[in-house]
């Protein structure tokens, strides 16, 4: 016969002397911890958004102080010039045959400061096409006005820019005359002193016309100076540079069927290696 045990009184403490705390609702401490964590997360997210969502003007103002030497550390320009030059002309070209519907715009050029000599050991030569220094600012140390360079394709390292029949093509070097036509004086940009212009050995300049790169005599016009000025941009390849048009900033030089031309460049651009070049020691 089973033994019948008496049920303890509900008003009495447990046998170990502990009684539940009925003064507050269960889980209150966890609710406070969860609430504090949620508030901290929201504050962190708002702070991060505020820091990253800076106006474009502030970013561009921060860029104004950088030079070509700064671009070099970011994988951009390979050459910088010691003396400042006059600002880009405010004149805008009327039109260019085959030009896109959007009107090109020029931007203010950043300041130019002295930096070490670019890659290569060939001695630079002066060029008469270099822009004149700004009269309002005395240069601290006049540097070389030009650098003798050849331009090599990233994806065709055995081919270089070569002037042939007034056009610029991507060819393999041959005899001494071919090597001379593949060597240029890289000078300060005719329209922007922080950019590049390329002068041939016989005094012509490389300029885009009808979006094709050509060697032509400088006629002194604002349009020619802008067509012959190319600004270095980040390429993503070691020692290479993207050369963007100063008057068509969304266009860059590329080789297509071994012909140099100006084409649109953006996030959706295919065959990106065709736009990347290295400035190496002159062949001629």
Does the pLDDT value for residue 77 go beyond 60? no
Tell me how far the alpha carbon of residue 170 is from its chain's centroid.
23
Helix (H, G, I), strand (E, B) or coil at 282: coil
> What pLDDT sits at residue 260?
97
Does the pLDDT value for residue 281 go beyond 80? yes
> What pLDDT sits at residue 251?
96
Query: Can you read off the two tokens belonging to residue 189?
Result: 């940009």
> What pLDDT sits at residue 79?
66
What is the mean predicted confidence (pLDDT) over 189-196?
95
Q: How far apart are CA 131 and CA 112, in angstroms?
A: 13
Site of tokens 């096409």: 129
Does the pLDDT value for residue 212 go beyond 50? yes
How do residues 4-38 score in pLDDT, each as one tens digit?
A: 555 555 555 555 555 555 665 566 777 888 888 88
Q: Mark out the alpha helices in 17-120 (DSSP H runs).
A: 28-52, 56-64, 68-73
How do residues 116-172 score in pLDDT, each as one tens digit?
A: 333 433 333 333 333 333 333 333 333 456 789 999 999 999 999 999 999 999 999
Q: Please state which CATH number belongs to domain 65-281.
A: 2.80.10.50
Higher pLDDT among residues 114 and 211, named by residue: 211
Q: How far apart are CA 7 and CA 30, in angstroms?
A: 34
> What pLDDT sits at residue 128?
37
> What pLDDT sits at residue 55?
53
pTM over 0.75, yes/no: no
> What pLDDT sits at residue 8?
55
Under 8 Å between Cβ of 92 and 249 = no
Higher pLDDT among residues 266 and 104, named by residue: 266
> What pLDDT sits at residue 10?
54
Nearest to 247 by CA among 118, 114, 103: 103
If you ran DSSP here, which 8-state letter would residue 239 be given?
T
How do residues 35-57 score in pLDDT, each as one tens digit?
A: 888 888 888 887 777 766 655 44
Taking the CA atoms of residue 240, residue 246, residue 251 and residue 255 in that order, the dihedral angle to the nearest 10 degrees is -50
Q: How far apart are CA 234 and CA 48, in angstroms?
A: 27
Nearest to 213 by CA among 245, 174, 173, 247: 245
């Amino acid at each position: 016969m089973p033994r019948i045990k008496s049920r303890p009184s509900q008003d009495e403490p447990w046998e170990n002397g502990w009684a539940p705390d009925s003064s507050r609702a269960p889980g209150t401490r966890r609710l406070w911890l969860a609430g504090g964590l949620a508030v901290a997360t929201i504050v962190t997210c708002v702070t991060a958004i505020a820091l990253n969502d800076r106006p474009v003007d502030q970013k561009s103002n921060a860029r104004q102080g950088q030079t070509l030497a700064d671009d070099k550390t970011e994988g951009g320009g390979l050459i910088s010039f010691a003396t400042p030059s006059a600002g880009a002309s405010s004149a805008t070209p009327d039109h260019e045959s085959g030009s896109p519907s959007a009107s090109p715009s020029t931007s203010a050029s950043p300041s130019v400061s002295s930096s070490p000599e670019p890659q290569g050991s060939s001695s630079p030569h002066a060029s008469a096409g270099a822009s004149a220094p700004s009269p309002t600012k005395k240069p601290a140390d006049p540097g070389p006005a030009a650098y003798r360079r050849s331009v090599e394709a990233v994806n065709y390292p055995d081919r270089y820019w070569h002037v042939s029949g007034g056009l610029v093509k991507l060819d393999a070097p041959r005899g001494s005359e071919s090597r001379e036509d593949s060597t240029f004086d890289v000078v300060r940009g005719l329209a922007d002193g922080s950019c590049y212009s390329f002068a041939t050995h016989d005094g012509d300049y490389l300029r885009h016309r009808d979006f094709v790169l050509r060697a032509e005599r400088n006629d002194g016009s604002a349009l020619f100076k802008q067509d012959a000025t190319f600004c270095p941009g980040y390429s993503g390849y070691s020692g290479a540079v993207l050369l963007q048009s100063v008057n068509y900033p969304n266009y860059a030089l590329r080789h297509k069927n071994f012909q140099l031309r100006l084409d649109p460049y953006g996030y959706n651009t295919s065959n990106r290696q065709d736009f990347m070049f290295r400035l190496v020691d002159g062949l001629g």
